[in-house]
Structure 1
Amino acid sequence: MSGSPSSHFGGFKRASNLPSLFVRASTEPLKTRLKNGEKLKGMLLFSASPTLAEIASLAGYDFVVVDLEHGPADFSAALACIGATEVCGGKTVIRLPEISAACAKKALDLGPDGIMFPKVETGKAAAEAVSFCSYPPHGVRGCAYTLVRDSKFGFNKRYLEDYRDNRLIMCQIESEEGVKNVNKIVAVDEMDCVMIGPRDLSASLGLLHDPGNKKVKSAMRTEEMAVLDSDLVNVGAYLAGMATDYDKAVNLKACGYHLVLGSADVSLFKKVVVDDIKTFKLL
């Protein structure tokens, strides 16, 4: 209402004196927003904290990635993070611990907006990952759709018609072998997005302690161009990346990335507490 001292935000009231960047998150699926040409920024949720997931969404991040590959989270923790994020209109992507039908099934049944498969190295692996995300005849996903959260426990009567259109499928290329096969990976039908993993890529090139090395940057550029050029031949994979000391989030956005992961939650917290204690000690 015009002139009202507060407005509703995901069920909560927002005071009128909050920063202008504090806006209602889009209710559109990530996949739809990408199709509309939006550039999206996310946060890697390493801690599996529902509180931090909610804060990130309220702050304006377009999505959070719940990390089941490296972080302490299990599927129950991921569910709590999804619920906390959805309360304020946010979106979640689950990064799986491995490429497997069992992991994909359990993650998808929770109802995230997207799913990320780590260390995809071949077109065959990408095709298998995609098949894990759809029910027969389109894929091999196990069928419990009347019982799981993804279908609102069966209350969503259009679920089987809509679920493939609303789910973002991401494949992470983070090895020398993956870069060699990037064109085959990008060509896989329904593989929506390629996420570049710069640190694992540097390790696979024998440069673990030198992720800014020219050889690493060259491999990343090969991957970037393959994904961005896919738009020109109507394959249309989206390019995603992680901000590092060598590639800031704003630089990735300027280079054409469609999704950018900023710092992880623990990295952000670490920086704040270190700065806080330094300020105190110097007084």
Structure 2
Amino acid sequence: MDVPFNAFKKNLKRTPPMIGVWAMSGSAVAAEALGFAGYDFVVLDMEHAPNDAPRMLGLLQAVAGSPASAVVRLQWNDAVTVKQVLDFGAQTLMFPYVQNIEEARRAVAATRYPPDGVRGYAGMSRATRYGGVADYAAGAAREICVILQLETRKAVADLEAIAAVPGVDCIFVGPGDLSADMGFIGRTGHPEVQKVLADAAARCAKIGMPCGILAGGAAQARDYLGYGFSWVASGSDLGLMMSNARAELKTLRG
């Protein structure tokens, strides 16, 4: 049995770009349903959602039965959590709030076995198909995708240097925290914020580094794709549920 194939990593530079969605509710049922909705990927959030490592196992299992790829957004650049979610079978990891080269190197190292990193080895795990992948340790890195989130002006200024760290597969520009860092908290559509986002996408394209972003909805997602972002997650399970619930209620009440 071979190391499981990572379709998300393969399709980072594809045309048309990948379209995904954020899973914030912590519900395995919702994550699974989104996986069957036609999205290319589902982001399983650990930073701002009620998901710890044990719950992540169930979420990964839920999405695995669908055509969509699972992306795990970690709560922090922490080697222990990385080790756990990789053992649970995650292959694409987003590391939040990466500020410099050193933090980028630490993120990559957490996903690699010695001597290339610090990932602890466990032969009996979901990642190894419970021992069925005999050469998992030798081939795991090939299918692991490391995404680094740049969420401040400082980090974006150092984009090229951070992206050049060996083992980095993709850059994600976080519009929410970037807007806060720029003094426009919550106003991701502010022209100054949008200018930085467009510039970051152009710089990633120049160096051949895939870059992704989260959009608040379809209109904003189209703008981001126009900037040159390689992939976009548009909305979340909670956001889609609430917007449709409010629209339905408005129609019913007149």
- Answering whether residue 245 of structure 2 is matched by residue 273 of structure 1, we say yes
Alignment RMSD: 1.8
Per the alignment, residue 216 of structure 2 pairs with: 244
Per the alignment, residue 106 of structure 2 pairs with: 128
Q: Is the 8 A contact 2:46 2:72 kept in 1?
A: yes
Per the alignment, residue 73 of structure 1 pairs with: 51
Per the alignment, residue 187 of structure 1 pairs with: 164
Task: Find the partner of 1:87 among 56, 65, 78.
Answer: 65
Q: Given the superposition, is the C-alpha separation of residues 95 and 201 from structure 1 closer, same or farther in structure 2, using an over 3 Å criterion?
A: same
Which is worse superposed, 247-256 or 74-83? 247-256
TM superposition shift of 1:178: 0.7
State how far apart, in whole Å, the 2-side matches of 1:96 and 1:53 are. Answer: 16
TM superposition shift of 1:255: 2.9
Q: Which has the higher contact order (CA 8 A, sep 6+)?
A: 2
Counterpart amino acid of residue 266 in structure 1: L
Q: Write out per-residue CA displacement over residues 118-144 of structure 1, whole angstroms, 9 at most, x where no aligned residue.
A: 001111111110111010111111111
Counterpart amino acid of residue 34 in structure 2: A
Q: Write out per-residue CA displacement over residues 155-205 of structure 1, whole angstroms, 9 at most, x where no aligned residue.
A: 112322321121111001111111121111111111001111101001011
Q: Write out per-residue CA displacement over residues 248-271 of structure 1, whole angstroms, 9 at most, x where no aligned residue.
A: 222322332222101011000001
Runs of 4+ with >3 A deviation: 35-38
Q: Write out per-residue CA displacement over residues 3-48 of structure 1, whole angstroms, 9 at most, x where no aligned residue.
A: xxxxxxxxxxxxxxxxxxxxxxxx7521112355552111110011
Counterpart amino acid of residue 46 in structure 1: M
State how far apart, in whole Å, the 2-side matches of 1:47 and 1:249 are. Answer: 21
SS of the equivalent of 1:156 reads coil
TM superposition shift of 1:227: 1.1
- Answering whether residue 74 of structure 2 is matched by residue 96 of structure 1, we say yes
Task: Find the partner of 1:224 among 195, 201, 210.
Answer: 201
Q: Given the superposition, is the C-alpha separation of residues 81 and 269 from structure 1 closer, same or farther in structure 2, using an over 3 Å criterion?
A: same
TM normalised by structure 1 equals: 0.83
Q: Is the 8 A contact 2:25 2:238 kept in 1?
A: yes
Task: Find the partner of 1:150 among 112, 122, 127.
Answer: 127
- Answering whether residue 191 of structure 2 is matched by residue 214 of structure 1, we say yes
SS of the equivalent of 1:82 reads helix
TM superposition shift of 1:76: 1.7
| Higher Rg of the two aligned structures | 1
Q: Is the 8 A contact 2:21 2:39 kept in 1?
A: yes
Aligned length: 250
Gaps in structure 2 of 5+ consecutive residues: none
State how far apart, in whole Å, the 2-side matches of 1:247 and 1:189 are. Answer: 34
Gaps in structure 1 of 5+ consecutive residues: 1-26, 232-236
Q: Write out per-residue CA displacement over residues 57-79 of structure 1, whole angstroms, 9 at most, x where no aligned residue.
A: 11111111111000011112211
Identity across the alignment (%): 29
